[in-house]
Each structure stands twice: as structure tokens, then as C-alpha cells.
Structure 1
Amino acid sequence: MSKVILITGASSGIGKAIATFLAEKGNIVYGTSRNPKNQEKHNFNLIALDVLKEDTIATAVALVLKKENRLDVLVNNAGMGITGAIEDTPTEKMRAVFDTNFFGAINVMKAVLPQMRKQKSGKIINVTSIAGYMGLPFRGIYSASKGALETVTEATNMEVKNFGIHVVNIAPGDFATNIAAGRYHTPVFENSAYKENYQKNLDLMDAHVNSGMNPLAMAKAVDKIIHSQNPKIHYKVGGFMEKFSIVLKRLLPDTWYQKLLMNHYKM
């Protein structure tokens, strides 16, 4: 049986890959974008939704329900990247990232939960990040926003379980997408105490994305979650070392783990 699926941030990157793959599988897919364009280039419905504007969320959800009378799956994929030393990064930019990655995802969850409770079924899949499991240098705010969403997902899953709803996380590692172009990059200030280390890390981040995995891997993982009767709460999709780094964080003393990270990032 095909599912009715709503996917935020589906105009490019991982979101587009997930939407395209799930539509090819015969599902009824509504992807969203703040400014939907070129509908003819997609095999799924592309509709307007801004996770920061609750009225656009309500309109998009109402449109789906009017046409389909149900909503089986939400994939909360819309997100924003940010880089920079904590000291150098404007606080308003930090708030903007939390508004999108954390509160934006919550806004959409709150909009779909009444229908899922009414149906007594549904799945919410929050796209987080392997970076959310650890504080990474010059990506601390991004890590924190995704880590916060991981934790809220755990809590929400317990709150809605009695209604037949599952809320899970899927944490990607580095994928070959255009995410770097959409990040807020704190400038490499000439007088910054972090200038040298920050520039080296920016170069490393871009290299990791350019050599990252195919987003199709994320699409296939989401498809498996959708068809799982008893999904896990946490999923990780990435290279061996990316996933193993989470295990190491649990096993090693904090100072040892931090030294490994600093060596990796050439600090």
C-alpha cells in the first residue's frame, strides 16, 4: 500500500533524493520548499512551506489532507548549516540555525501530530546528523542544534507511542550534496585568534562533502524505516569511521576522544 509522505526541504540535496526515490516506489509524495520552482522537473508534488512560518506549515498540511485524507509519514529534513568559532560567530546567526534545525522541525511535528493521532498511526522521521553526537570544532552550533533534535525526538516518541505513532531520528554523515553552499560561514577574520585553524577546518569540511556518500543511501534507509513495524529510535547513515566515532565517544575517556578529534582536524 502506498504511503502519503510529506518531506520538508525537498528541492535539493538529501531531501530531493528521498522524495524522488519514495515517489519512484509508488508513494504519494509531497516535497516542500520555501520557494517551489520547476515542478515539471520532479516526479513528486512540490509545495510551499517555510518551517519558520507556522501559517505556511498549516496551509501545506491542510492541502495534503484535503487531497489525500491522510498523512502517513513526515520526513523533517529542512535544515541549515553553520561554521565558525563560537567567539567569532554572531549570536543572531546561531539563533537562526536553532530556529530552523530545532524549532522549525518541532513546528512541523506539531502540525502533523493531530492528524496522526486521529488516524492512530504515523511515522515522523527527523533528519539529524552524526555531528549531533559530538561537539565538533567550528561546527559547535550545528552539532548542538542536531543533538537537541535527537533528544527531543526521544521524548516525543515516548509521548505519542500510545497513539500508534513512531518518532525516530536518522543521522547522516558526509554526503555529496550542495549543503556547503547553503551554510552560513562566519568569515575568516584577519584579526581572529582562530584564523589558521578555522581556515584549515573549512577546507577539510568542503573536502569531506565533496567525497561524501551518494544521497540515495539516505533515501533507501528512510524507505526501510517507513516499512518497519517496530523502528528503532536512532539510525545512522554514513561511512564506517563516522559511525565508529560515536562508539568511540562512548568508550574512551573524554580527553582521549577530544585528542583524537583534534588530531583529525589538524588542530
Structure 2
Amino acid sequence: MSKVILITGGSSGIGKSTGEFLVKKGYKVYGTSRNPEKLIEFDIFPLLKLDVSNPASITAAVEEILKKEGRIDVLVNNAGVGITGPIEETPHEEILKAFNTNFNGPLNVIKAVLPHMRTQNSGLVINITSIAAYMGLPYRGIYSATKAALEVTTEALRMETKDFGVKFTNVAPGDFATNIASGRYHAPVLNDSPYKLPYGKTLEMMNEHVDGGDDPQMVAGLIYRIINTKNPKIHYKVGAFMQKFSIVLKRILPDKAYERLLLNHYKL
């Protein structure tokens, strides 16, 4: 019997690539979008209406899958938003929105599927985080914080659910060629801001990294391998060598030495 897989944020980027890859491997995939009615030509796999910041829409989507399939075997918590800006100048409502989508949202989806996985005595939750979760990046500090919170919460969930046949893991991508930059909230570069020059330069660099990122099929392939792994690891990193190696450097270098590396990288 084909495993039933739910991918949040499945209409583009990593979610779309992963769903397409898994469909070709014979899995039954359901993706989600906040506005699937605007994607009438999307026919790779079914897209359900789901907004991770709206618990009622999560419940409705999960119940629809269970009604059709009777089970959910894998949840790929992929939906997320980017946010950039000097923390001092980032509107607090935008900070709350980012946490609501990147942290509260995945938790709400987990809470919706976990009772069913527990009843099945089987299930796998893959939380898509970011290499940015492992370090506080300048002008991306809020994004780093949202993803770091999800990484650590996953560690706790693994231990809390170990007796129920449910497994949890994190996948932390580096820069991939997706449309996250177009949907990202950018705090404006203000002419009278003390952060104008450094933030403006950093913002340009961040957008270049995403535009020149790797093919998201690399993430899709890793997720496929995780699904077929008996005992997934706690953390997986995927991306360019130096992006992954930056996490190793943070472990072994003194804090201030690592901070200097980041400052030099961003030319700050």
C-alpha cells in the first residue's frame, strides 16, 4: 500500500519539488496552499486549502485526507515565510507573523496529525527548517530564531512520542532556487536609518544567494531517503558544502572567531 504523504506549502519551491519526486516514486501525495483555487492548472498532485496560521483550515484538510485515505503516514512541514531587516526596525506584527507561520503553524499541523499517527502506531514528521537555524545571521535574525525554535522543539517531540511509533526529524536546507525571496517580508531600507548601508548590502547578497541556489530536487531526494530510513537521524543538513561546513565551524571555533567569519562573509 502506498504511503500517504501530506506536504504543507506544496504549490512551489521545495514543497512542489518534493511532491513531484514522491509521486514519481509511487506515493500518494497531498499538498497544501492557502489559495489552491488560484492554481487551477496545477495537476501534479491534489492541493488542499490550508493556512498554517488558521487551525480550522488545518483540521479541515487533515480530515479530508483521512476521509479519502484513512491514514496519513508522513507529514512534511514545509510551509514557511522569509523575513529580513534590522531587528530594531522590523515591525513587531511582522515578527509575530513570521513566528506564527514558521513555528506555531508547523506545531498546529503536528497536533492535528499526531493523534491519528498514534492510533496507527506509525508515522513520520519531517520538519523543514534551515541552516540559518544554527546561527544568528545579521538582518535575518528573526528568521533564524523561528527555524531554531522548530529545530529544538523537534528534539523534544522525538522523545515525547518515542513510545507511539511516531518518528520526528529536521531537514535544514541551505540556499535553494525557490521563490522564497519574492514572498519574504523585507523591512524597508530607510534613507535616514543607521542600518541603511549595511542592511542594503546584506539584502542584495541574500537575494543573490537564493537566486543562485541549488536545485530543490536535492532536498526532495533527501526526503525520499529519510522516508525509507528505518531510524531517521535527528538532524539533516542539505545544501552547498560551505553552508553545511559553517555549522561545523560554529561548533569548533570560539564564539568571537565565528562571529568575525560571519561579519567578513557579509562584509560588515
Equivalent residue letter for 2:178: T
How many residue pairs get aligned? The number is 267
1:7: which partner in 2? 7
1:42 CA displacement: 2.6
1:41 CA displacement: 2.7
Please list, as runs of the form range in 1=range in 2, the aligned pairs for 1:167-206 lying within 5 A after superposition: 167-206=168-207
Equivalent residue letter for 1:56: S
CA contact (8 A) 1:39 1:46 kept: no
Deviations 1:73-112 (A, max 9, x none): 0000000100000111111100110000000000000000
2:18: which partner in 1? 18
Q: TM-score, normalised by structure 2?
A: 0.98
1:34: which partner in 2? 34
Give, in whole Å, the separation in 2 of the partners of 1:220 and 1:2.
Answer: 18
CA contact (8 A) 1:20 1:42 kept: no
Equivalent residue letter for 1:29: V
Give, in whole Å, the separation in 1 of the partners of 2:20 and 2:83.
Answer: 27
Q: TM-score, normalised by structure 1?
A: 0.99
Per the alignment, in what secondary structure is the counterpart of residue 87 of structure 2? coil
Equivalent residue letter for 2:5: I
Per the alignment, in what secondary structure is the counterpart of residue 127 of structure 2? strand
Gap change, CA 1:120 and 1:39, over 3 Å in 2: farther
Per the alignment, in what secondary structure is the counterpart of residue 126 of structure 1? strand
1:38 CA displacement: 3.0
1:139 CA displacement: 0.1
1:85: which partner in 2? 86
1:210 CA displacement: 1.1
CA contact (8 A) 1:39 1:45 kept: no
Equivalent residue letter for 2:183: G
Per the alignment, in what secondary structure is the counterpart of residue 171 of structure 1? strand
2:103: which partner in 1? 102
1:40 CA displacement: 4.2
Per the alignment, in what secondary structure is the counterpart of residue 76 of structure 2? strand
Superposition RMSD on alpha carbons, in Å?
A: 0.8
The structure 1 segments of at least 4 consecutive aligned residues displaced by more than 4 Å after TM superposition are: none
Identity of matched residues, %: 62
